[in-house]
Amino acid sequence: MSRSRRSMDWGFPRWRGYESAREAAKVRLCDRHGCEEPGDCPAPKAPNSPERWYFCQRHAAEYNQKWDYFEGLEKAEAEARARSEQRENAGYAEAAHYGWAGSGDGSRSADEMRALEVLGLESDADFPAIKKAWRDRAKEVHPDVKPGDAEAARQFQAYSVAYEVLRQAEERREWSG
């Protein structure tokens, strides 16, 4: 009785990972002498030549380190080319929707960013700095220090609300982290 050898690629779920085949995958090594990394970054051997070197990322960065786009041009020509390319590529500079978001790395909400702004802090301020800034500002405008001053009372309330927003966000981070 002969046993059939069935491929592991039948049915679902696949029993082998995708992109895994029986034959060995061909990998081109970096053209830099002595480097054993995969050479997946093509670089021209000469200007306007179809021939390419294939470097790893580290050696491609080394190869391009001193490359000057404006080499061989006079100063006026280089400035004219830079202006024309900037004009032609102005649409790719930055999409308008990137301006919608506030500052920061995305780890803080818009309410937290506004609260930091009220307290006069940067977006990367840690909680001890937040607490210190709140205490300093609250002491200046506290109703006991400035009784009967409506503007001071309004500022004290704004500082208190900002601190409460940031305190609750810090508690949420501690619980989730």
Grouping H, G, I as helix, E, B as strand and the rest as coil, residue 154 is: helix
- pLDDT tier at 109 (50, 70, 90 boundaries)? confident
Each domain of the chain, given as residue ranges in start order, spans: 27-87, 110-176
The span from the CA of 161 to the CA of 117, in Å, is: 12
Q: What is the pLDDT of residues 154-165, one digit of tens each?
A: 999 999 999 999
pTM assigned to the model: 0.42
Q: How many helices (H) and strands (E) does the chain have?
A: 5, 2
154-159, long-range: CB within 8 Å, 24+ apart, which pairs? Answer: 158/118, 159/118, 159/119, 159/134
pLDDT digits (tens, 9 = 90+) for 50-85: 888 899 988 888 888 877 777 888 999 989 988 888
CA dist., res. 23 & res. 4, Å (int) = 20
Q: Where are the beta strands (DSSP E) in 48-144?
A: 52-55
pLDDT score recorded for residue 154 = 93
CATH code matching the domain that covers 110-176, chosen among 3.40.1260.10, 1.10.287.110, 3.40.50.150, 3.30.450.20: 1.10.287.110
165 versus 14: the higher-pLDDT residue is 165
